[in-house]
Structure 1
């Protein structure tokens, strides 16, 4: 028997365990480690906000502090969301395992395994992107010193400015302490975004697999060969297979709804904050390009790429759920259901009636995850930027 956790979510387990959020093996040490990671993220956000209380606020300071603060606030919300819903995430994995164990047909098992492997590959891609992002973000503050070493310059140079920390701090005196804190926050924050995002994406992909299994059951049941040889034995088989298809489809919907009930409130805040952060990063790119601040420019470009990728993946996952659900009903509608036995037609009507109701990943009752939503959110970010940039000039 295949174990879902080890076969398809092993890399997710490593990522979540690295930040203390894996829902299994919750020892006292792991709980203490979770508190430590969360405290480090929160401390960095508070560190940014203290700038407003110690120096005179200017437009440049407000934009710079908010740009960093809002971005890392997303990581705090994601971390807190998983921390609070640890046992619900565990329940999601157990539901997947239970549904998978009930599959008996080899082709259905193969379909689910295909989607499980897709989830594993997506996690690997997200992990690779995260490692590259962490490497770039941690390298930016020290790259002038690296160049000095490579070029064999013996002149003593002042420490480069750490772009993620307000400049009113005495960075020269506490440079290495601040750099260590900043790099630890970058590693924890980036791992949080990758681990939680990959885990949620894996659940969505497996949910799509359940919808595909339901479509496969319908296709196999409503074949011409089966419907043309309608006798008592075949009628019984048709009834059972249709009931099984309805059952797996119902489980897919319930799994998706339970998944959404776990994340919908937190994700609504994340999307709103992400749109604002996207606008501020676009503004930061133009501002730093005009001032010749290469380090700040690269950080804003990196932040922009991370936000766009995250928003696209979220909305694309929602679009895939909608498409797979619609495919179930198109399969039912396009089948030769009208030549099936009367009792079988009545069963099929349940699925056709359910198909009249659109099924989406609804976030907070306000946003429907889809590619159209991604376009709308991106346009909204650009609109806020076009309002903000003239004010700066």
Structure 2
């Protein structure tokens, strides 16, 4: 028996448990954890916008605040989307587990193991990126203190992220530092945990598409053997292939369709963040730390953008491969009854299957490039206004 929680989603489960987003065992303590962590993240965003109250509102200040604030807003959107859709995620995992409980064929189990291992490899790589980002973020703020210790020079700490707490920032510097790094840690873990969870889930739907291909090939191979029993067995295999194919499409759409609002906001916030960070890079004034932080923000957004669309593109490609398999097998040599069933599959293959993000955006590598191009277009407009 295949256990999703212990075999295939165990790493994702640990990541989600760290920030209280694992959809099972939602006790009162977990709810308090959610409120606390989300409160830290939201308060850090709010205190960035309060900079406009105490500082002169210039274009440079606006771009500097928006470039970091919208980066953390993306974190908050992802965190909140999994919080409010916990029942949806739990239902999706249950449906997937029910399908896996019916699978007994060792070759089909091997297909599941193959895609599960692929999802784990992606998760490990993203965890390494998260560790690298967090270490870089800490180092940026620790570097001035390191210089003081090594060269005995005066401390000059650059405000890479503009924040206004309405308190004496020197007196409460340790609390401010704790708040800043806690928000960063919560946000980056939330982005990684939710992103890898969706990626792993879509990889398992791809496994279902591959199982459908395997069952079609087995059905056609069986149908070419003489005997009424073989023909009956072939019909059952085709029915099972169609059923698991329908389940794969249903599971993909069920989960993504319930994140419509979240993805719409995430796309909008992401484009603003990308454009503002591109502008900060183009307006480099010699602050290496500021430049490095903007580059990291851009890298994380682009990596997330292309990984999300790559996963959705794989779902589309696997669906098309099912019908390519139907075309390529020697179905014309099967009995007439089998041929009629195959014709229905061929007709269904004329309609493409896509995952729609935010209700308006077809998830694919081509459209990922379009979003990246859109952010660059907005950047050029903003940059041109600064030159006037």
Q: Name the TM-score, length of structure 1 as normaliser.
A: 0.95
Matches within 5 A, 1:29-44: 29-44=29-44
Residue 171 of structure 2 is matched in structure 1 by: 173
For residues 39 and 113 of structure 1, the distance between their equivalents in structure 2, rounded to whole angstroms, comes to 39
User: Larger deviation: 250-259 or 50-59?
Assistant: 50-59
User: CA RMSD for the aligned pairs?
Assistant: 1.5
Residue 19 of structure 1 is matched in structure 2 by: 19
CA contact (8 A) 1:23 1:87 kept: yes
CA contact (8 A) 1:70 1:277 kept: yes
User: Larger deviation: 351-360 or 195-204?
Assistant: 351-360
For residues 328 and 248 of structure 1, the distance between their equivalents in structure 2, rounded to whole angstroms, comes to 11
Following superposition, the deviation at residue 286 of structure 1 comes to 1.9
Residue 219 of structure 1 is matched in structure 2 by: 217
Residue 367 of structure 2 is matched in structure 1 by: 373
CA contact (8 A) 2:44 2:183 kept: yes
The alignment partner of 2:259 has SS state of: helix
Matched, 1:331 2:325: yes
Matches within 5 A, 1:277-356: 277-287=273-283, 289=284, 291-356=285-350
Following superposition, the deviation at residue 171 of structure 1 comes to 3.4
The alignment partner of 1:222 has SS state of: helix
Gaps of at least 5 residues in structure 2 are none
Question: How many aligned positions are there?
Answer: 386
Matches within 5 A, 1:143-292: 143-149=143-149, 151=150, 153-155=151-153, 157-166=154-163, 170-223=168-221, 226-287=222-283, 289=284, 291-292=285-286
User: Larger deviation: 330-339 or 315-324?
Assistant: 330-339
For residues 255 and 168 of structure 1, the distance between their equivalents in structure 2, rounded to whole angstroms, comes to 45
- Deviations 1:312-363 (CA, angstroms, capped at 9, x unpaired): 0011111101100000000011112222222222222222222111101111
Q: Name the TM-score, length of structure 2 as normaliser.
A: 0.96
Gaps of at least 5 residues in structure 1 are none
User: Larger deviation: 157-166 or 90-99?
Assistant: 157-166
Report the CA distance shift for 1:265/1:167 in structure 2 as closer, same or farther (over 3 A): closer
Matches within 5 A, 1:41-60: 41-60=41-60
CA contact (8 A) 2:51 2:162 kept: no
Which 4+ stretches in 1 moved above 4 angstroms?
Answer: 167-170
- Deviations 1:198-250 (CA, angstroms, capped at 9, x unpaired): 00100011111110110111111112xx3432321111111111011001101
